[in-house]
Amino acid sequence: MKVLILPDEGAAILRAADIVARTVAAQPKAVLGLATGGTMLPLYEELARRHREEGLSFAGVTSFNLDEYIGLAPDHPCSYHHYMEKAFFSHVDIDRARAHLPKGDAPDPQAASEAYEALIADAGGIDLQLLGIGQNGHIGFNEPTASLGSRTRIKTLTQSTRRANQRYFASFEDTPQYAITTGVATILESRKCLLIATGAAKARAVRQMVEGPVSAVCPASALQLHARATVVLDEEAAAELTLRDYYETVHPRGQDSVFD
Ligand code: F6R
């Protein structure tokens, strides 16, 4: 795992944006795996700025979001369809016909999950998968004890995740209990993974992901099995890492190593 520690959130986001921009510039038809959540908002803002001011184009890109709440229609203001439209798609030149999210309002969510997994395979798999991490170590909505061999399917959200996401809904009761999420194995099949974590609330999960045992109790720890996983952190999210000196020796101030 490549661990890049940046001085603050702003620097971490710029570093992550560089990695996404480099991928899209080198591979204009890249297949991107996208994530939602608070961590990603400044990243999408920066990518939109680069599109506007520097000509970074997403016109050839295909995208697959990690997850969507079950029961929310795409136009629901709290759906991830709506989040993506507002935060990213409406600001760049991506072709909506190739910007995919799981269908949370499908009459048969299990069939919709299987169709989504097949669609990713038909697109040739994901070149770069963006990821955030939950305070409980989830990636996508693969909650603790999710199978590390899992594929796109329905997951029941933990109380902790629902509490963390309650801020977007009227109340805890209104916060959905179920989601469609790509699986841990789906994520691990991506050719590259880029996980971003910022803020002190993520420090414990980050330590378990990077230095803990590979365990379904912390689904993000499965990234230890991925040969090309990069983790971009700010100082606060990196605060509990015990081998921090080493990461900073290899990647001073989060920059590439001499051999990258
Ligand atoms: C969202 C997703 C989740 C979030 C995670 C962190 O598509 O897949 O795993 O990345 O819950 O969310 P924030 O960034 O809001 O802390």
pLDDT digits (tens, 9 = 90+) for 161-195: 999 999 999 999 999 999 999 999 999 999 999 99
- Residue nearest atom 8 of ligand 1, based on CA coordinates: 140
What atom in ligand 1 is closest to the CA of residue 132? 10
The Cα 61–Cα 98 span in angstroms is: 7
Q: Which amino acid is at 260?
A: D
> Could you tell me the distance, in angstroms and rounded to a whole number, from the CA of residue 88 to the centre of ligand 1?
16
> Could you tell me the distance, in angstroms and rounded to a whole number, from the CA of residue 21 to the centre of ligand 1?
21
Output the CA–CA distances (angstroms, integers) from residue 222 to 30, 193, 211, 213, 235, in the order listed: 24, 11, 11, 9, 23
The Cα 194–Cα 196 span in angstroms is: 7
- Residue nearest atom 11 of ligand 1, based on CA coordinates: 134
The Cα 21–Cα 61 span in angstroms is: 12
Q: What domains lie within the chain, and their CATH numbers?
A: 8-230+244-251 (3.40.50.1360)
> Could you tell me the distance, in angstroms and rounded to a whole number, from the CA of residue 18 to the centre of ligand 1?
20
pLDDT above 90 for 70:
yes
Average pLDDT of the residues in 88-110: 98
The Cα 119–Cα 197 span in angstroms is: 28
pLDDT of the residue at 259: 82
**Confidence class for position 258, pLDDT limits 50, 70, 90:** confident
pLDDT of the residue at 260: 81
The residues, ordered by sequence, that sit 6+ positions from 205 with a Cβ below 8 Å of its Cβ are: 133, 134, 135, 136, 137, 197, 218, 220
Average pLDDT of the residues in 59-70: 98
170's tokens: 């009227």
* Residue 65 annotated to the active site: no
